[in-house]
Every structure is written in structure tokens, then in C-alpha cells.
Structure 1
């Protein structure tokens, strides 16, 4: 009977010691939660900026407009408007950035990758992603 008490005590002690290694602290949870809140806020900010039309815009070259004869009462031909073709940064996970494009697609990109729209990823960091337009070398920071 005495041996049984020691065996049970030994098993309980080993189980508690093993459980301590798997337990995460409140600090770990706080760190994860604050990172999630930060990225959710950054995504909402970028979407609001896009909706307000204050994001970096790029003039998309269009086909040359041929002369059109209009009849009275028909709408006039308007020049092309700037279209935002820059991707939107969704999140950064280490050295990989997830980018959303105007056509609704998304892609994961690393430094040196060529991405949709004629851009090359120059840097990926927690501060944002820097992309360079291949046509003229202009750099944009997505954050």
C-alpha cells in the first residue's frame, strides 16, 4: 500500500512537471494578440485609403483614342482616369508578404520576386514592403 502511494505521487509529479513545459504564459498570448490587432488595423487602414482614393495611383497607358464623331445629345468622350494598379499589403510573415491585387487575386512574395503589374519586390520588413516599377524604376512603399 505504501508503494502504491509513492507510485501515484511519482506519476502525479511527472505529469505536473511535463504539463509545465506545454503551458504558454499570458505574455505569450498578449504578444500574439497585439500582433494580430496591429495587422488587422493596418489592413483596415489600407482598405480605407484605397476607398478614399488617397492611395498611390499609377496612370495606366491606354490605347490611343481615335477621333469619334458625336451627334447632338450623345455623351462626350472622356479621357482615361488614373487607375490604381498598386497591390495592397495584406500581411507580412517573416520574409514573406501577402499582397492583394486590384483584380481580386492575391500572392505571396519575397525579395526579388516579380509581381503582377510589372513590379519587383525590393524589400520586405515589418515596416512595409518596397516595390519597384520596372517601367521607370519608381519605388512605392506598401504598408
Structure 2
């Protein structure tokens, strides 16, 4: 006879079945992310840009400039996103995106204010994510520019 207490019974099969279904749905929902594509590289750049913006807003201009340089040389160039963009999206487009890094560094250096620094930082975040999606869609592998392949 069924339980009539008004409470649901604990059903471990249902619990694990739902958990399994949820885990299978993660990649479809886009939650899993692509840790191997250009979007992962873009997010690494974005992380440095976020740090630059936060440092600037906290008054640490030296750390803010360092984070911009790290985003550009330590990720964007070092992980070959710049080269991939030049190949797939063109030199002019890539130059305009690269210029945004300089614009951010200059805005920090001249103490342009939080609104301007945040606007330039946001333009970099948008460009990185947009261009990474285009590179991933075009099938440009991360290893295409590695030396000694």
C-alpha cells in the first residue's frame, strides 16, 4: 500500500537518473565550455583584462598596466591568437583589435577615468569572444602556429 504521509519518498534511482541526465545535457547546454578551442584562449585574455579593469578601479594603475601587457603578450600573442586572426580575419581587422590593447594601456596611463577604462576593456572582451568564435567556426586549430610540428 502506498505511503500516505504527504511527503515524497526518497528514490535513489530517480535521483541518480536525473543527475545522469543533467550531466549528459551539460555539453548540449553549452555549460561545459570548450577548454581546447580559441574561446578558451579568448577567455584567458578576458581574465587578464578583467584584472586590469579591477586594478585600475581600485587605484592600482601599475598592476592594471601590467595586466594589459600580460593579456596581450602573455596570452594573445604567446598562444598565437593574433597569428590565427591575421590568417583568418585579415591584417586590418587584427590590427584594429590589437590597437584596443594599446588604447586600454593608454587610458590607464593617462588616468582617463573608470567609465573610459571600462568601455575599452569591454570592447576587448567583445572582440576576443567574437573573434574566437569565428576562429573556432572556421576550424583553425590551436596548434597551427606551433614551432617544430
- The TM-score bracket by the shorter chain reads under 0.3
Task: Specify which structure has the bigger relative contact order, considering alpha-carbon pairs within 8 angstroms and separated by 6 or more residues.
Answer: 2
Which TM-score applies when normalising by structure 2? 0.25
Greater strand share, 1 or 2?
1
Q: Which has the larger radius of gyration?
A: 1
